[in-house]
Structure 1
Amino acid sequence: MDPRIETHAEILVDDYAEVEAGDQVAVVASQAAEPLAIAVADLVGERGGVVSTSLGSPRIQRAYRLAADEATLDQENEIVRAKYEAADAVVQIRGEANLNETGDVPPEKSAVAKRANRAVQEALLDSRWVLTQWPSTGHAQKAEMSMEAYEDFVWSAINKDWDAVREHQSQMVERLDPADEVRIVSGDTTDVTMSVAGNHVINDAAENNMPGGEVFTAPVPDSVEGEVLFDKPVLIQGREVLDARLVFEDGEVVEHGASENEDLLTSLLETDDGSRRLGELGIGMNRDIDRFTGNMLFDEKMGDTVHMAIGRAYGETVGEGNERNDSTVHEDMIVDMSEDSRIEVDGEIVQRNGTFRFED
């Protein structure tokens, strides 16, 4: 076995899921990611955990959602919820061969299924969960990289000294954690402000998403004002939404558009009440992710980007007494901050053109 796979598995099992003897561990992986799933199961066994594995396929999901009517999809998957409720830890491994497999599923059907399985999502988030990436052919093609180059890229971003990453990122946490207001400006297309007063800042280095490499928090839901152009594509249900544009007033999206697949963006915003508000502000800080690859798990961590998610706020980011934005949606979208851009925290510029003040 490639030693990089073994290192990847060790980070997932020991640093993220923190598997101990007697833990119930669910491993949910794509079929292409079987080698990493095997390495994870091997380590769980060594640690004395009880493992349950499932290898999924987007082709199966596509077939089911196309065949089922909306009344059928509007039913909770009780089997999956029971599995996550029983699990102490959940290791999810992406690695699709075809990223567009579900592209012809009507977005309204996917929205119905998301709403129906809200409790499933909450059960997952209540576990020690981790989401990671297997270097698959589909993602290599999307990144326009050879398979060998993409493998190097993935494992360079993942197999690293996460204690050192945490220490580096703590410099941004120190500036953001006591802050009241954040302003994001990029060119003449993005100028948005939001309050983060009283909310918690998370230093993402071996937390839930692997790779880590970001600092994130939750905006106060009704505080967001201004306009954002997300100038990096976002892949939603197998289709790319390009140049997504959101205009906020009193925290709510009052105007939106996109140059391609605007219907998908509209469908997301109309999912529920919380899907028209922001649930996350994230600042990318992983310098080993040095190119856009069309994979949000990596792209949102790039050191010269910020991302904002419409929909659900993570509970750990919301301070006591503050409102938590609630939704079945959590969709991250990226703003390139490498040129003519700045991040202001309480009026002080903490990043200009992708470079943090403490990196100067």
Structure 2
Amino acid sequence: MDPRIREHAETIVEHSVSLQAGDNVVIQLPPEAEDLAVALYEQCGDIGANPIWIANSGRADRGYLRSSEEFETPAHQLSFYEDADAFIIARGGSNVTESSDVPPETNAAYRRAMKPVQKERLSKRWCLTQYPTSGHAQLAGMSTEGYENFVWDAVSLDWDTQREFQANMVEVLDPADEVRITAGEETDLTMSVAGNSTLNDYGEKNLPGGEVFTAPVKESVSGSVYFDLPLYRYGREIEGVRLTFEDGQVVSHSAERNEALLTGILETDDGARYLGELGIGMNRAIDQFTYNMLFDEKMGDTVHMAVGAAYPETVSEENELNESAEHVDMIVDMSEDSTIEVDGEVVQRNGTFVFEDEF
């Protein structure tokens, strides 16, 4: 076994989810990640935690979705999740486009049925990470070995140092009232974040980490945004997304590729047309776009926004929590002709922050 896999497992267990003796931990990994499952089981054994590995299969999921006409919330899975203390989930798999022929309306219906299960999982300690496979390497345009090195380097940062760097932006954004984002000729978006909390992601719920994020006040988002970096969702690439907001809601949208899939996402439920997250990428160790949002949204010189569910811990009691079965991140490149303004003051210009020497 590659020793970096055991190092990864140790980081997950000790840093990301802080497993304790007696914890019931659900490990959801694809079959290709069996080495990581072994390493995690070893860690659980050393600590005295109780692991169970659920093997995720893209082929099986596709078969189920294409064969089903309607969906109900699986009560047995919900009760299983209720008994868990922590979740460890890794992406991977041999074919990243396995679900590309599942209709958008089927995905939306399934997400709605699974919303209570998702909500239960998010209420526990959890970590989403990546296991490097040839399928993801191919998507990233990298050799298998090159992609392995990319992943292991990204998850093995000095997270204390990264946390301290990102804390500078938390200090700027957390007490703020209004944020304005401009980029190029097509992005000029304002939103209120008044009262909401800004969180510092340094490799806990996401590994790798590397962002600070908050939630907009639900009905405050106004203006237009062009997401110039593509995303993969349900096995298909969505490219060139344009959204226009009024009173917080998406009132018009388009995409240069797979617009029907974007429409299906926005029509999942009422909350899917509102922003649930504003995130600012700050991990400059991730310097290559890989079509994997777990990494891409953390890149320095980027901003991402998610339509759909807000994380409850970012929303204050006096503000409305946006709820949805979806949470879809999309990215704006902020490296050129761009600014982030907080309460009228420019705090980032062309990717450089006000607290950096180069500003």
TM over 0.5: yes
Runs (4 or more) in structure 1 with deviation over 2 Å come to none
Aligned partner of 2:15 in structure 1 is 15
SS in 2 for 1:52: strand
Aligned partner of 2:171 in structure 1 is 174
Aligned partner of 1:292 in structure 2 is 289
Mapping for residues 189-228 of structure 1, pairs under 5 Å: 189-228=186-225
| Cα pair 1:202 1:217 within 8 Å, conserved | yes
Residue 354 of structure 1: how far off its partner (Å): 1.1
Aligned partner of 1:58 in structure 2 is 58
Residue 320 of structure 1: how far off its partner (Å): 2.1
Aligned partner of 2:116 in structure 1 is 119
Partner residue of 1:187 out of 160, 184, 188: 184
Residue 206 of structure 1: how far off its partner (Å): 2.7
SS in 2 for 1:223: coil
Residue 4 of structure 1: how far off its partner (Å): 1.2
Mapping for residues 315-330 of structure 1, pairs under 5 Å: 315-330=312-327
| Cα pair 1:84 1:127 within 8 Å, conserved | no
TM-score, normalised to structure 1, is 0.98
| Cα pair 1:172 1:215 within 8 Å, conserved | yes
CA offset digits 1:70-112 (Å, max 9, x no partner) = x2xx211223212211110000011121110000011111111
Rounded Cα–Cα distance in structure 1 between residues aligned with 2:114 and 2:248: 26
Rounded Cα–Cα distance in structure 2 between residues aligned with 1:214 and 1:262: 28
- Which one-letter code corresponds to 1:29 in the other structure? L
SS in 2 for 1:221: coil
- Which one-letter code corresponds to 1:30 in the other structure? P
SS in 1 for 2:336: coil
Aligned partner of 2:158 in structure 1 is 161
Residue 315 of structure 1: how far off its partner (Å): 0.4
Aligned partner of 2:79 in structure 1 is 82
Aligned partner of 2:41 in structure 1 is 41
Rounded Cα–Cα distance in structure 2 between residues aligned with 1:346 and 1:223: 14
Aligned partner of 1:32 in structure 2 is 32
- Which one-letter code corresponds to 1:241 in the other structure? I
| Structure 2 residues not aligned, in runs of 5+ | none
Aligned partner of 1:109 in structure 2 is 106
SS in 2 for 1:92: strand
Residue 202 of structure 1: how far off its partner (Å): 0.2
- Which one-letter code corresponds to 1:357 in the other structure? V
CA offset digits 1:126-154 (Å, max 9, x no partner) = 11011000011111101101111111111
How many residues get paired? 357
RMSD: 0.8
Rounded Cα–Cα distance in structure 2 between residues aligned with 1:123 and 1:277: 22
Matched, 1:348 2:348: no
SS in 2 for 1:149: helix
- Which one-letter code corresponds to 1:102 in the other structure? S
- Which one-letter code corresponds to 2:170 in the other structure? V
Rounded Cα–Cα distance in structure 2 between residues aligned with 1:104 and 1:224: 33
Aligned partner of 1:249 in structure 2 is 246
Rounded Cα–Cα distance in structure 2 between residues aligned with 1:134 and 1:229: 31
Rounded Cα–Cα distance in structure 1 between residues aligned with 2:324 and 2:200: 23
- Which one-letter code corresponds to 2:119 in the other structure? E
Rounded Cα–Cα distance in structure 2 between residues aligned with 1:158 and 1:253: 35
- Which one-letter code corresponds to 1:43 in the other structure? Q
| Residues 263-272 or 2-11, more deviating | 2-11
Aligned partner of 1:309 in structure 2 is 306
Rounded Cα–Cα distance in structure 2 between residues aligned with 1:173 and 1:145: 34
- Which one-letter code corresponds to 1:20 in the other structure? Q
SS in 2 for 1:18: coil
Rounded Cα–Cα distance in structure 2 between residues aligned with 1:154 and 1:345: 33
Identity of aligned residues (%): 57
SS in 1 for 2:8: helix
| Cα pair 1:17 1:89 within 8 Å, conserved | yes
| Cα pair 1:284 1:300 within 8 Å, conserved | yes
| Cα pair 1:21 1:49 within 8 Å, conserved | yes
Mapping for residues 237-276 of structure 1, pairs under 5 Å: 237-276=234-273
Rounded Cα–Cα distance in structure 2 between residues aligned with 1:272 and 1:281: 20
Rounded Cα–Cα distance in structure 1 between residues aligned with 2:186 and 2:33: 39
CA offset digits 1:15-65 (Å, max 9, x no partner) = 111111110011000111111111111101110001111111100000111
Aligned partner of 2:126 in structure 1 is 129
- Which one-letter code corresponds to 2:11 in the other structure? I
SS in 1 for 2:219: helix
| Cα pair 1:233 1:294 within 8 Å, conserved | yes
Partner residue of 1:338 out of 329, 335, 340: 335
| Cα pair 1:37 1:93 within 8 Å, conserved | no
SS in 2 for 1:117: helix
